[in-house]
Amino acid sequence: MPALSDAKILFIATDGFEDSELLEPRKRLIEAGAEVVLASLETKEIKGDKGATITPDAKVDTVDIDGYDALLLPGGTKNPDKLRMESNVVDLVRRFVESGKPVGAICHAPWLLAEADVIRGRTVTGWPSVRTDLKNAGADVVDREAVTDGNLVTSRNPDDIPAFTEAFSRLVEKAEAPAETV
């Protein structure tokens, strides 16, 4: 299995992100050697719901999915709620999922997957208050710390970050594995 050191991973967030759900997976992926790029609606500093700040590397409307191996969506109540109102973000999420590239969404971030209409018939999880929305979008919703279904990894809350990041990393490494020839 290849290392994450060859992966280029896109994060999308805006003000109101859950601090730990952006910063901890980002740190773990960088430590594993991945290149991580944070995109937002603007390139001005964004603020988490507990006060952490970070400056995005790019604007969402300049992102080309061909330049990335995977997408990670942190939660927080305000962050995904604001992002799901942006058609360019919803379209980007849809294109990532449809491309077959790994996509991770934690806590409230699966709202973006529901908005992009990419979870019908898929098994997912998320924060308890978004589970009805996920069911209404056609998903089979379960209560587990990390759920992998095809190229999607979803998780429930900040306590699940280790399991979520591990499942997401495995999916990225699996996607990077060269096809075996016979």
Cα 14 from Cα 30, distance rounded (Å)? 20
Residue type, 70: A
pLDDT computed for residue 1 by the predictor = 39
Residue 182 covered by a domain:
no
What is the C-alpha separation between 155 and 103, in angstroms, rounded? Answer: 12
Q: Which of 26, 84, 101, 108 is catalytic?
A: 108
**What is the C-alpha R_g of the chain?**
15
Give the range of the structural domain holding residue 145, as residue numbers without chain letter: 4-176
pTM for the predicted model, two decimal places? 0.94
Partner residues linked to 149 by β-bridges: 152
Q: Is the pLDDT of residue 180 over 50?
A: no
Are 115 and 128 in contact by the 8 Å Cβ rule? The answer is: no
Q: What are phi and psi of 158, to 5 degrees?
A: -60, -30
Quick check: is 119 in a domain?
A: yes
- Chain mean position to CA 3: 19
Average pLDDT, rounded, for the chain: 94
pLDDT digits (tens, 9 = 90+) for 21-54: 999 999 999 999 999 999 999 999 999 999 999 9
108 included as an active-site residue: yes
Residue 2 pLDDT: 54
Query: Which tens digit of pLDDT belongs to each residue from 106-123?
Result: 999 999 999 999 999 999
| Residue 72 belongs to a domain | yes
Q: For the domain that residue 113 is a member of, what is the CATH number? A: 3.40.50.880
Per residue in 146-161, pLDDT (tens digit) is: 999 999 999 999 999 9
Number of domains in the chain: 1
